[in-house]
Structure 1
C-alpha cells in the first residue's frame, strides 16, 4: 500500500520520441487513466503530468498497463477452459443409497463399453465379431426385461405407501402402470443412394441387423414415439469404445432406469441399436424405411462420437420443439454455430441422423462426443482413453431428454426449421428463441449502436472503420507467410500434436498484421486519444455492420455479432460516463478510459474463448484425415488468424493508447518472438506422437486379373510419410516402393470408396517376401502368379442376358458370389437405362458407377438387374469387383494362400507399426469381369 501511495504522488512528463507524431508528448496523459497507478488527481482522468524523472518510469507504466489487461484476458481464458471441459462426477451405484431411486450409473455404461471394445473388439459388419455383438446385446436386453419384471413384482408385493415414499423413490400407487417392454430383431435387405464427400455411392445391403426395444404405457402411448439411436458396429481399424459403444451403453442404462420406474405418461420411446452405421448408414435406412414402428416415430435423438473426451455437443437440430426440449438437460452444450457449420459440408463426417431426416422426414437432435478427435476411428478408441465423467454427462443429458419427451412433449405435427437461434450460456443453461425474436433483438441492438453514435459515445471515422476491415484481412493473410516459411524448412503440420499450438505458431504474426494496419492508419494529425476512440468506435461499427448483413441473410449464428455489438455499445456508454468528470477539468474528451477495455472485453472474450475451444477441438484433428492435397497448413493459419482477430475486439484500439512509436516497437517485438517460436518448434516438436497419430492405411491387394500381390501404403494428410515410414517398409520387404497417383489409379482403394479420394499411395510388391517366407515348396518355387493359389475368390456371373435390336438395350442379371468375403464394390462405366435398385434412377447419360454392397454375418452374395445402351449383343459390360477379406479385424489374422503356411504380410506390417502411427489395415482382392 505504501508503494501504491508513493506511485500516486509521482509526477512525470514525456519528451517526444517520434518526429512523425507531434502529439507523442501527450501519449501518457490518459494512458494510465483508471490504473491502480496514477500520478495525480488529473492523471486518473487523463490530465497531463508536469514532470518526468526518466523514460524508465513511463515504460514501466506502459508495461504495467499491458500486463494488467493481458492478465485479465488470460484469466478469462483459464476460467472458460475450466468451465468448458467440466464433467460431472461419475455415479457408481445403480440405486441411490439414500432415496432408493434407480439412477444412471457410469459404471454400468463402462461395463458395456469394455465388453464391446475389448472382449469382442473390431465389430465390422459381416465379421464374426458383429454376430458376437448382436448375440451379446440380445442377451443383455432380455436380462434387462427380466430385471424390470422382477422389480415390478417386488413393487406390487409391497404395502401401499404415500406418494414419494418407497424403494424406488416413486409413488407406491399400484394403479400407476409399469412400462410395457417390447423387443424386436430386424434383419433386412435394401438399397439407397448415398451422396458423400462430393461423390455418389449406390449402396446395397443384405442381412442388415437392428435390435429394437420399446418402452410404453400401452397402445395409447404407441401412436407417437421418440426414437433414440446408436450403432454397435465399428469402422475398419477401430474397436469403437466411444464410437459408438458409449452410445450403446448409454441407451442400455437408460432402458434399465426407465424400465424400473412408472411408464411414460404421454409418448413411448423406441431404442434402436443399429448394426450398420459405419458401412454408410445401412441399418438406420433399413429401420426407417421398413420396420413396423417407423410410422409411429415422430422425432429422433441420435448419439454419436468423433472423439473420446470432453462433453458431448448438440451439433444438429432441426425443429423448435426438439430444441426447446434440450433446455431440460442438466449439462447443456450446443450452439447453432455448430449447426450452421455442419450444414456447410466443411466437416467431413455424417451420422444416421441423415437417414431419419431424409427417409423418415423426422426432426430431432444429433449429439456427439467430439474432443480429442485424434483417436477417432483408430486403434486407440478404447475405454481407457474415454474421459472420466463423459458417460455420466451424455447419460444424464439423454435421460433428461427421454424423460421430458415421453412425459410432457407434444410430438404431433413437428415442423422442420433452421430458423431457430440456440446456444448454451457457458454450459450453465440453454437459450433458444425463434428467428422473428432474433430479428427484434437485433433491431434493438442496432438501435442502441446508432444511439451511441448519435450521442457521440461512439465516434467512428471512415479511416478507422476501413482500418478494422484491413486488419481483419491481414489477420487472415499474414499467417500464411509462416506456412511458406515452415514448408520451406520441410516442416508441415507443426501444430498438429496439440490444438493450442496453432495459436502459438500463427497467433503472433496475425497480431503483427492487425497492428501493422493500425500503425499505417494511425492519424498523425489527430491526438493519440482521438485515434484510440475512433478505432474503438470503428470496431463497434464493424460488428454492428456484420450483424446487419448476417441478419439480412437469415443466418441464425448472427447472435454472436449481436453479442459483440452490444458489448461494444455498453463499453462506449461506460466510457462516456467515465470521462464526463474529466471533461469538467478541461481534459480531452476524445479518448478511452482504461476501465472501458475491461467492460467491453469481458463478455465477447469469455464467450468466444468458450466457443474457440470447440473450434480447435473440431478442426485441428480433422486436418489429419482430409487428404494429402488439402492445404491444411493454410486452413489452420487462416482459422488461427480469425480466432486472434475475434478474441478481443477492443485490443486494436488499445494499441493506439501509447502512441505510434510504441505501436511500432510492439510490432517489431512480435516479429522477433514469432520468428523465435517458428525456429524452436521446428527443431524440437514433431507433428505426431502416440496420442496424436498420423493416419496410415495398409491394403494387401491380390489382383486376380493381373496376378499381382501388392502392399498398398497410403496416408490421409500432407505431413511427413515417405521418410521415415515408407523407407522402413522398403527395408523390411527388401523391395523399393512405387508411388501411385490417386488421380491416375482411382480404383486402387475402391474398398473404402469414397474416402479413397483423400489417399496417396506407395506400393510394394510382396511376391518376393511371400516366396521366401512360405514353407510350401510349390509356391516358393513356382513361376505362376501367387494369385492363382487363392481359392473361393469372389465371382461375377451374367444371367438372363438379352439384347433388343430395336432399342439397342442390353439386359442382364449380375450375380455375385463372395464366400468368406465381406464388403464388395462393383464399378463400371456405361449409359444405364434401368436397374433393380429401388433407391433412385440411373443417370440419364454415360457415367461412372460405384455400387457398394455390405452384408451382415453371414452374407455370401447379391444380384443386380441392369439394362444399358449397347452397340450390339456382344458389347459386354466390364465390371471391376473389389472384395474385402473377413480376417484381420483386431484378431491379428490374415487370409492365407491355400497350402502356403502363415504368410503374415499384414501381420508383419502391423507388428512393426511405430507408436506415432495409427494403422487401418485389411486385405482385398480385385478382378475384372466382362459380362
Structure 2
C-alpha cells in the first residue's frame, strides 16, 4: 500500500483497513499489552511499598548519637502502659483516675529532669460547660459536667503572650483500648515534651500541651479548655493530633482556615504527608467523624494543622485498636514531624506579627519525599498556564497536519472525541452494572480483600474505555497519526475538566493538572525534536513522560481507597458501598489509564489483550463467591470486622396526662453497613422475628431509640438527609439518592425482656411558667447515668425560643424549617452530676395545653456496673468472631409537656 506523509490514498472497507492497521509497522505486538499491564502493576507495587515505608524507630541507645531526636522507644513504653489500662472511657475509673495519675507522674518526672533554662508549669482542669453546634441540620447542644484536662505549659523567652497549642485526647470509646485513637499521639506528646524540656534553648513563644480527657463524648474537654482555661486566650495556633485508623503514617488533612504561612513550616518536616483533596473531602461531610480542630477553630478562633492516622481504618473504634499491632515506625513518623513542627511554629515570626492572613492553600506531598504547596491564587495561574500549554500542544498537532485535508482532520477529531466519551460512558455503564449486581449478590466482597477491586472495577474500565477507539478508523490518516490525535483529544477532555474545576476553585484539581502538564510537555518535546513521524522514538518518549504522573495518581488513589474502603463499614446500610468504592476506583482508573489507551489501539491481535482482561475479571468475579470473597475477617493481625452496635432498650411512651400508654423492650441493632443485618441471620436466629422501625419513625421522636449523636439521628431520619441534600446539592441529586437507597433499613428491632438498669433515669418537670401570653418557660431536671440525651420537638405552630443549660443560653431563630428538633447531649465525667435546664416555647396567644414532646434517653456504656440479662448475653454469644460488637443498655421515654 502506498503511503504519503502519513495519509492513505487507497480506499478499503473497514475490516480490511482494520487488519491492515494491525499489520502496520506502527503497530505493536499484543505482548506489549501484557507488558503494559505488568508495567502498571509494577508501578503500583512500588507506590504501595513507598507508601507503607516508615522511618526507623530510634531506641534509647540511639539517643547518644541523636540527642535532639524523638526517641520512639519511650513513646512505645508509654502507650503500652496506657493500653494495658483497657478502654479509657469518660466517667470510668481507668480514664478519670488511672490515666490522669499516669500523666501526672510522667509530667512530674519531666519537670524534675528539665534543663535549668526551661520553665514548665502544669495544671489539672475539671470543667463543665455547654455549646451549640449545627450538625447535619440538627440543632444540637453539647453539654458536659466535670470532664478533665491535663495541661502543661513550656514558657517562652521574654515573657511571650503567644502560645502554640498541641492537642491529643487520652479517652477512648468504651470497647477499644485506644492504641491509635488517640493513645499513640498522647505518648508522642509526652516524648516531645521531654525533648523540649531538656533543651538549653527556650522557644520564642509558649508551647501548651493539652492532654484532653473527653473527646469521644464528643469534643467536650477541648471546649472546656478553649473557653474557660486561663491559658486559652494566649493560644494562637493549634497542632491537633487524631486518628481514624491504626498505625501507618500521620497525614495532614486540614489546615488554616486561611493563613498560608502554616504550610511553609509543615513543608519542612522530615516526613511530609498530606493532601488538600483530603481536606475538601473531610469538610464536605462525607466522612462520619469530627475532631477537636473544629472546637479550637470555631470557639477559640485558632488557626492550625489537623493531622490523623488513617491507615487500617478497620481497627478504628474497635477492640483491634491495640498496642501490639502499631509498627514502631509510626511512632517515629509522628514524633519526628511534630517535634520539628512545634519547634518551628514556636519560633515563627508570623505568630508575633499576627496570623489573620487570607488565602487557602493547595498542597500535596510527592511520595512522602517533599511537600508542594501554593495559594489558590497561584493555583489559578498554574492551572491556566497548563490549560494554555495543553491547547498549544493540540494546535501544534493540527498545524503539523496542514498538508492534509482540514475538513477530514476535523471529522476525525470529532469522531475520536465521540469514541473517547463513548468509552467513558461504557465505563460508567459497566460500573453501575457490576455495582448493582454485586450489591444484589454479595456486597462489599472487597472489604477484607481490596485487591479484588482491580479485577472487578479497574479491568472493566480499561476494556470499556478503549474498545470503541480500537475499531475507530479513518481513510485519510495512518495508524501512527491517529494514535497521537487520540492522545491529544483525551488530554483535552481532562483539560476541560481542569478548567471547570479551576473556575469553581476546587483545590484538588492538582490531581488532574499534573498528568495534563506532563502529557502536554511530552508532545511539545516530541514536536520540537521532530519525532512525531518516527517509528518508535515518540512512543518511547511518551511512555517515559507518563511514569511520574502515573505514580502520583496511583499514590493518590491508594490514599483515597485506604480511607474509603474501611469507611464503608460504618457509613450505614443505606449507603451503596459498591457504587461509592466503584466510582472512586473508576475515576482514578480513567485518569490513570486514559493516556495509555492510545498504546492499546496500536496492538496487533488486540483480542488476546481483551481476552486477558476478561479472564482477570471472570476470576475475580468467581472469587467473590468463594471464602476469599467473604467481606469480613476476625484475624487480629489483619482484621476487617463487621461493626455491630446493639442496645438493649426499654421504651416508655406517656400520654399528656402522664399515664403510660405504651411500654416495651427490645434489642436495637443500628445497621452500620450494607450487609446489616441480613448477614447475621445464620448466626442470630432471633432475627427471624425482628421488625423494622418504620412506624415508630413516623410516630416517635428519633424512632423511639436512645440515639446519642447527631450523625445517628441522620441515619434514623431520612427527612434530615433530604434537607441536607436539598441545601447543598440539588433536587436531581436528591432524586438519585432516593433511587440508590433501595429500601435498606437503618435499624432492626428484636423484642426482648427488659434490661437491668443500675441507675434508672428520672424526669422531673420542676415548673411550667406562663411568662406572657405567647411565651411559656419550663424548668426540667434529669437524674440518671452519665450519658443522657434529650430531644425536644414543639407542637405545630409553636417553636423553641431558647435553652439555658450550665450557665449557657442558646437562642434559636424563627426559621425552623427542617430543623424543628432540638437535641441536647449531656455527659458527666469524674463526678456524676444531675442535669437541670430551662427552655422557652413560643405559643399561640393564651395557650395552656401541651406545647411540645420531649423524648429522654439514657445510654449505659459502663459494662462493669451494668449487667446484661441472660437473653442479651445469649444473643451476643451467637455473634460470629468477625463481628466487633458495641453492646449498651439504654432507655427511651416520651413525654408530653
Q: TM-score range by the shorter chain?
A: 0.7 to 0.9
Task: Say which is worse superposed, 270-279 or 750-759, in terms of deviation.
Answer: 750-759
Instruction: Show the counterpart of 1:689.
Output: 633
Alpha carbons 2:647, 2:890 under 8 Å: kept: yes
Match of 2:109 in 1: 144
Alignment match, 1:850: 823
Counterpart for residue 400 of structure 1 = 340
Give the 3 Å change call, closer, same or farther, for CA 594–919 of structure 1 in structure 2.
Answer: same
Distance 1:500 1:18 in 2: 43
The CA distance in 2 between the partners of 1:446 and 1:637, in whole Å, is 29
1:829 to 769, 793, 805: 793
CA pair 469-710 structure 1, distance change in 2 beyond 3 A? same
More off after superposition, 416-425 vs 304-313: 416-425
1:711-730 Cα distance to aligned partner (Å, 9 max, x none): 2233211115334x245333
Q: Distance in 1 between matches of 2:666 and 2:96?
A: 31
Report if aligned partners of 1:193, 1:839 keep a CA contact under 8 Å in 2.
Answer: no
More moved, 605-614 vs 908-917: 908-917
Equivalent runs, 1:764-913 vs 2, <5 Å? 764-767=750-753, 792-804=759-771, 806-818=772-784, 821-830=785-794, 831-837=799-805, 838=808, 840-844=810-814, 847-870=820-843, 872-875=847-850, 877-888=852-863, 893=864, 895-896=866-867, 903-913=869-879
Distance 1:416 1:523, change over 3 A: farther
Contact 1:751 1:924 in 2 (8 A): no
Distance 1:18 1:251 in 2: 73
Q: What is the alpha-carbon distance in structure 2 between the residues aligned to residue 215 and residue 581 of structure 1?
A: 64
Residue-by-residue CA offset, 1:382-415 (whole Å, 9 max, x unaligned): 0112233111101110001011112344213213
Match in the other structure for 1:70:
37
The equivalent of 2:121 in structure 1 is 182
Shift of 1:110: 2.1
Q: Confirm or deny that 1:739 pairs with 2:692.
A: yes
CA contact (8 A) 2:122 2:153 kept: yes
Structure 2 vs 1, CA of residues 803 and 256 (structure 1 numbering), >3 Å: closer, same or farther? Answer: same
Aligned in 2, Cα 1:716/1:198: closer, same or farther, shift over 3 Å?
A: farther
For the structure 1 residues 527 and 883, does the alpha-carbon distance in structure 2 shift closer, same or farther, using more than 3 Å as the test? same
**Alpha-carbon distance in structure 1 between the residues aligned to 2:428 and 2:667:** 41
Counterpart check, 1:296 vs 2:234: yes
Name the structure 1 match of 2:715. 758
Inter-partner Cα distance in structure 2 for 1:904 and 1:104: 50
Give the CA deviation at 1:580: 4.1
1:534-613 equivalent positions in 2, closer than 5 A: 534-576=485-527, 580=531, 593-613=538-558
Give the CA deviation at 1:82. Answer: 1.5
Of the structure 1 ranges 291-300 and 229-238, higher mean CA displacement relative to structure 2 is found in 229-238
The Cα offsets for residues 640-674 of structure 1, whole Å up to 9 and x where unpaired, read as 11121112332111122137xx4466446534542
2:533 & 2:765 partners in 1: Cα distance? 93
User: Residue deviations 1:773-824, cap 9 Å, x none?
Assistant: xxxxxxxxxxxxx57x8564111212243114x4232212111111xx1110
- Residue aligning to 2:683: 728
- Change in Cα spacing, 1:908 to 1:69, as seen in structure 2 (3 Å) is same
Using the TM superposition, name which of 423-432 and 403-412 deviates more.
403-412
Cα 1:815–1:655 shift into 2, 3 Å: same
Q: Which residue number corresponds to residue 377 of structure 1?
A: 317
Whole-Å separation in 1 of the counterparts to 2:349 and 2:424: 45
Counterpart CA distance in 1 for 2:423 and 2:533 is 32
What SS does structure 1 have at the residue aligned with 2:503? helix
Kindly indicate whether the alpha-carbon contact (under 8 Å) linking 2:773 and 2:847 is maintained by their aligned counterparts in 1: no
- CA offset digits 1:630-649 (Å, max 9, x no partner): 11111112111112111233
The structural deviation recorded for 1:839 is 6.0
Distance 1:239 1:524 in 2: 69
Matched, 1:923 2:889: yes
1:404-450 Cα offsets, whole Å, 9 max, x none, are: 11234421321365532221121111222223333333343334334
Larger radius of gyration: 1
Distance 1:701 1:445 in 2: 59
Match of 2:294 in 1: 354
**Which structure 2 segments of 5+ residues have no match?**
1-10, 402-409, 654-661, 717-745
Counterpart among 91, 114, 139 of residue 80 in structure 2: 114
Candidates 417, 423, 433, aligned match of 1:465 = 417
Corresponding residue of 2:376: 435
Aligned partner of residue 569 in structure 2, secondary structure: helix
Shift of 1:452: 2.1
Provide closer, same or farther for how the CA distance between residues 737 and 581 of structure 1 changes in structure 2, counting only shifts above 3 A. Answer: closer
Q: What's the offset of the Cα at 1:123?
A: 1.8
Identify the residue that residue 246 of structure 1 maps to in structure 2: 184
Aligned residues: 817
Match of residue 531 from structure 1: 482
Give the direction of change, closer, same or farther, for the CA distance of 1:876–1:448 in structure 2 (3 Å limit). closer
Contact 1:522 1:656 in 2 (8 A): no
Partner of 2:617: 674
Equivalence for 1:364: 304
Matched, 1:719 2:698: no
Q: Would you say 1:485 and 2:437 are equivalent positions? A: yes
Matched, 1:202 2:170: no
Q: CA deviation at 1:291?
A: 1.4
- The 2-side partners of 1:720 and 1:678 are apart by 22
1:414–1:861 Cα change, 3 Å: same
SS at match of 2:645: strand
Aligned to 2:729: none
- With over 3 angstroms needed to count, the CA separation of the structure-2 counterparts of 1:873 and 1:839, relative to structure 1, is closer
Task: Label 1:31 to 1:309 Cα distance change in 2 as closer, same or farther (>3 A).
Answer: farther
Paired residue for 1:781?
Answer: none
Change (3 A) 1:517 1:133: farther
Aligned equivalents of 2:462, 2:532: Cα separation in 1? 34
Residues 306, 376 of structure 1: 8 Å contact kept: yes
Q: Secondary structure at the match of 2:831?
A: coil
Distance in structure 1 (CA, Å) of the matches to 2:134 and 2:434: 36
Is the alpha carbon distance of 1:803 and 1:840 closer, same or farther for their aligned partners in structure 2, counting shifts above 3 Å?
A: closer
CA spacing shift, 1:305–1:694, aligned 2, 3 Å: same
Across the aligned residues of Structure 1 and Structure 2, the Cα RMSD in angstroms comes to 2.9
- 1:43-67 superposed Cα distances (whole Å, 9 cap, x missing partner): xxxxxxxxxxxxxxxxxx6133223
SS in 1 for 2:54: coil
Give the TM-score normalised by the residue count of structure 2: 0.85
State how far apart, in whole Å, the 2-side matches of 1:214 and 1:539 are. 56
Q: Alpha-carbon deviation of 1:748?
A: 4.1
Of the three residues 638, 642, 648, the one matched with 2:583 is: 638
Other-structure match for 1:55: none
User: Per the alignment, do residues 267 and 839 of structure 1 end up closer, same or farther by CA in structure 2, a change over 3 Å counting?
Assistant: farther
Aligned to 1:650: 595
Question: Aligned pair in 2 of structure 1 residues 357, 217: CA closer, same or farther (>3 Å)?
Answer: closer
Match of 1:29 in 2: 24
* Aligned partner of 1:271 among 206, 209, 217: 209
- State the partner residue of 1:215: 154
Contact 1:730 1:764 (8 Å CA) reproduced: no
Q: Does 1:313 align with 2:258?
A: no
Secondary structure of 1:455's match?
A: helix
Structure 1 position 327, deviation (Å)? 1.6
Q: Is the 8 A contact 1:543 1:564 kept in 2?
A: no
Aligned counterpart, 2:647: 699
